[in-house]
Amino acid sequence: MYVEGCQGARNEVWRSKLPQGRRHDNVDTGPASGLIGGVTDVWIAGAGMTRFGKREESLPALMAEASGLALSDAGIERPGSIVVAAMNPEEFTGEGNYGSLIATHLGLSHVPTIRVETATSSGMAAVYAGYALIASGLQDSVLVVGGEKMTHLPTPRVSEIIGRSIDAHERSYGSTMPALAGLITRAAMQRRGLTLKEISLVAVKNHANAARNPFAHFQEPVTLETVMESRLVADPLRLYHCCPMSDGAAAVVLRAEPAPVRIAGIGQGMESIAIRYRSDLTSFRATQVAAEAAYRMAGFGSERVDVAELHDAFTPFELLSLEDTGLVPPGKSGRAILDGDTAIGGRLPVNPSGGLKARGHPLAATGVSQIVELVWQLRGLAEGRQVDARIGLAQSIGGLATNNWVALLERRR
Amino acid sequence: MTQDVLGASRCPRCRRVVAPPALMCPDHPVVMEPHLVPAVGEVVSFTTLYSPPEGFRSPLHIAIVELDGGARLFCHGEETRGVKIGSRVSVEDVNSIFYFSHMGFAARARLFWRRTGYRGEKVAAIGKSFVKGFWKGTSREDR
């Protein structure tokens, strides 16, 4: 329980130390969104996920597998409430009313359930909804489960469904997610000096990490040559710079009662759905705003983060996100990957799970699975890829950085 | 044939210009007013898509062009060879689809000859544009 007095007051101290309005001061963001913190602290009592990859099971079965693992980890049978994240099960699987469907499938048909959707960051949005339910005092235990099932459909169809999260005008030019990422990558290479080698090394690192993670989609390391010589998808992006399509689910149980890991801060940032409306293509304002909000809520800064799970749907995004979350100074992310700082055993391990690139990216499962990985890392349960960490950061990108989230987890002392 | 202007819209509050015309300003809950912008600009970024979605043929060239009037546009192009970030391009509207084409020195000279006022200004503008293009071509890695 929260005992130090008004969280708002604690926040005021830190607010004065944060750089105000940096890099996006040309846009009126209005007053800081929402109050800072809630009535009680929010703890993660249980975490579980399925193996990601091509899976034969249905989406409800995958979600049930992850939920069962998280609930038994937390030692509870019936949560007070359920939050389900699924980006587009209507089109991927043909089924709707997904909150009720999952609650019934779990044998919890009388537990209040909602579904949350913010495109590819839906999982983290569901964690936020669960956080809000506990922090506000409305519930004292919430099951958050995210999942997606997509590999049973042909690839062009899957691309088209994912592509609907792009602005209609831009989509009418044949823009897909890789196309927009290609535009951003080209601009970042020119304006921020990222090199092909640096963005390729991210793939090498994340594949190497995934080879040590039994839950990952890809279990084999790749060489730099394989990445740099793979076929062009959206110039300058190549196949190995892009995340795969995966099935899978992940779940966490949030509680008001203290557990080993606490959600210290969580923040959301928004940006126009049209990338032609953005003045800067090479950094994501939505991540910067989300990170600022999360640090403000947590009451500490990026210097205390020991491990990070970043949204590397395209490998250059890991480098851009490192800078947007303030984990490395602007312009230094290329150096960080070249020097091995972000590898397991480096100064700041990034994506020890393999990230979206190699653990896989079952859309709405991804945000929750980042939290699951951090919980395992902070509790010392990440066998084979364990890092020494007390504070972890997770960042999730919705759409093409239109609805982003940053969460900070802290291990209890 | 290069068109002189393209339809856009402007926010009466922040003066922001977007194209194609939109009802609401992206940054303010305010209805935008009609506006026109010159159909020339600079390439912000470009890509070639090798696995385009249904209805498009590979390779598909897409660019974002920042028009001189401030708005950014998505465009198709026939070719991205020789195009660089910062290249001057002209934009054409064919059946509400925008196409960019790279402007060589001659095209740029013609453009400025038509656009700027006095003869001296015209020559100065052409010279400036040439120098700018040359500088951009040689110092690509600077940040």
High-pLDDT (> 70) share of chain B, % = 76
Number of helical (H) and strand (E) elements in chain A, helices listed first: 15, 11
B49, B64, B76 ranked by CB distance to A276: nearest: B64
Q: What's the CA angle centered on A343, arms A337 and A344, to 5 degrees?
A: 170
Q: Does the residue A296 lie in any domain?
A: yes
Q: Does the residue A162 lie in any domain?
A: no
Contacts of the segment A110-113: beta carbons below 8 A, 24+ positions apart: A111/A78, A111/A79, A111/A80, A111/A81, A111/A82, A112/A80, A112/A81, A112/A82, A113/A81, A113/A82, A113/A83, A113/A84
- What CA–CA distance (Å, rounded) separates A300 from A395? 17
CB proximity list for A353: less than 8 A, separation 6 or greater: A209, A210, A213, A215, A216, A309, A359, A369, A370, A373, A382, A385
> For residue B140, is pLDDT > 90?
no
- What CA–CA distance (Å, rounded) separates B129 from B125? 6
> For residue A23, is pLDDT > 80?
no
Buried b (16+ CB within 10 A) or exposed e, A359-397: bbbbbbbbbbbbbbbbbbbbbeebeebbbebbbbbbbbb
**Interface residue of B64, B93, B94 to substitute, partner A, most A CBs within 10 Å:** B64
Residues B137 and B86 placed together within one structural domain of the fold: no
Task: Give pLDDT, residue B134.
Answer: 57
Residues B18 and B61 placed together within one structural domain of the fold: yes
Residues B30 and B43 placed together within one structural domain of the fold: yes
Task: Judge whether A276 is closer than 8 Å to chain B, CB to CB.
Answer: yes
CATH number (domain holding residue A68): 3.40.47.10
Confidence of residue A81 (pLDDT cuts 50, 70, 90): very high
Task: Judge whether A166 is closer than 8 Å to chain B, CB to CB.
Answer: no
Burial level of A76, CB count in 10 A (0-12/13-18/19+)? middle
- What CA–CA distance (Å, rounded) separates B13 from A20? 24
Residues B83 and B46 placed together within one structural domain of the fold: yes
Mean predicted confidence (pLDDT) in B27-40 = 94
Note whether A193 contacts B26, CB cutoff 8 Å. Answer: no
B27, B62, B76 ranked by CB distance to A27: nearest: B27
Task: Give pLDDT, residue A130.
Answer: 98
B17-18: strand order across its sheet: B17-18, B5-10, B33-38
What is chain A's mean pLDDT, rounded? 92
Which residues of chain A neighbour B10 with C-beta distances below 8 Å? none
Q: Does the residue A321 lie in any domain?
A: yes
Q: Does the residue A266 lie in any domain?
A: yes
Task: Give pLDDT, residue B119.
Answer: 72
Q: Does the residue A202 lie in any domain?
A: no
> For residue A31, is pLDDT > 60?
no
What predicted TM-score, i.e. pTM, was given to this entire model?
0.88
Note whether A174 contacts B56, CB cutoff 8 Å. Answer: yes
Task: Give pLDDT, residue B54.
Answer: 80
Residues B95 and B123 placed together within one structural domain of the fold: no
- What CA–CA distance (Å, rounded) separates B127 from A408? 54
Q: Does the residue A168 lie in any domain?
A: no
Residues B90 and B125 placed together within one structural domain of the fold: no
Task: Give pLDDT, residue B118.
Answer: 72
Buried b (16+ CB within 10 A) or exposed e, A138-171: ebebbbbbbbbbbbebeeeebbbbbbebbbebbb
Task: Give pLDDT, residue A17.
Answer: 42
> For residue A2, is pLDDT > 50?
no
Task: Give pLDDT, residue A27.
Answer: 47
Note whether B51 contacts A178, CB cutoff 8 Å. Answer: yes
CA–CA min distance B37, chain A (Å) = 15
Assigned token pair, A103: 């609650």
Confidence of residue B102 (pLDDT cuts 50, 70, 90): confident
**Interface residue of B25, B42, B44, B47 to substitute, partner A, most A CBs within 10 Å:** B47
CA–CA min distance B72, chain A (Å) = 5
Q: Look at chain B and report how many structural domains it folds into.
A: 2
Q: Look at chain A and report how many structural domains it folds into.
A: 1
Which residues of chain A neighbour B49 with C-beta distances below 8 Å? 174, 176, 178-179, 182, 233-235
Question: What is the SS3 assignment for A28?
Answer: coil
> For residue A366, is pLDDT > 80?
yes
Rg for chain B, CA atoms, rounded: 16
As a dihedral over the C-alpha atoms of residue B6, residue B100, residue A186, residue A239, rounded to 10 degrees, the angle is 120
Q: Does the residue A30 lie in any domain?
A: yes
Question: Which ipTM score applies to this complex?
Answer: 0.86
What is chain B's mean pLDDT, rounded? 81
B44, B74, B143 ranked by CB distance to A175: nearest: B74
Residues B68 and B118 placed together within one structural domain of the fold: no
Q: Does the residue A121 lie in any domain?
A: yes
Task: Give pLDDT, residue A4.
Answer: 40
Which residues of chain B neighbour A281 with C-beta distances below 8 Å? 44-45, 64
A173, A191, A233 ranked by CB distance to B50: nearest: A233
CA–CA min distance A24, chain B (Å) = 13
Higher pLDDT, A26 or B59: B59
> For residue A392, is pLDDT > 70?
yes
> For residue B90, is pLDDT > 80?
yes
Residues B137 and B70 placed together within one structural domain of the fold: no
- Which of A29-43, A354-368, A399-413, B38-52 is the least confident region? A29-43
Assigned token pair, A151: 């590999």
Q: Which residue of B has its CA nearest to A272?
A: B26
Residue span of the structural domain in which B75 resides: 5-103
Helix axes A59-74, A98-105, angle to 10 degrees: 60
Mean predicted confidence (pLDDT) in A171-200 = 95
Note whether A178 contacts B97, CB cutoff 8 Å. Answer: no
Residues B17 and B73 placed together within one structural domain of the fold: yes
> For residue A6, is pLDDT > 70?
no
Count of CA atoms in the C-beta half-sphere (13 A) of A104? 5
CATH number (domain holding residue B64): 2.40.50.840
> For residue A328, is pLDDT > 50?
yes
pLDDT in tens, A220-230: 999 999 999 99
Residues B95 and B61 placed together within one structural domain of the fold: yes
As a dihedral over the C-alpha atoms of residue A52, residue A58, residue A59, residue A63, rounded to 10 degrees, the angle is -80
Residues B27 and B81 placed together within one structural domain of the fold: yes
Inter-residue contact A70 to A50 (CB < 8 Å) = no
Mean predicted confidence (pLDDT) in A107-117 = 97
Which residues of chain A neighbour B80 with C-beta distances below 8 Å? 235
How many contacts does A have with B, using Cβ atoms within 8 A? 98
Residues B10 and B65 placed together within one structural domain of the fold: yes
> For residue B116, is pLDDT > 70?
no
Task: Give pLDDT, residue A364.
Answer: 97
- What CA–CA distance (Å, rounded) separates A255 from A46? 9
Task: Give pLDDT, residue B142.
Answer: 33
Residue span of the structural domain in which A94 resides: 7-152+244-408
- What CA–CA distance (Å, rounded) separates A181 from A166? 12
Confidence of residue B4 (pLDDT cuts 50, 70, 90): confident
Note whether A275 contacts B64, CB cutoff 8 Å. Answer: yes
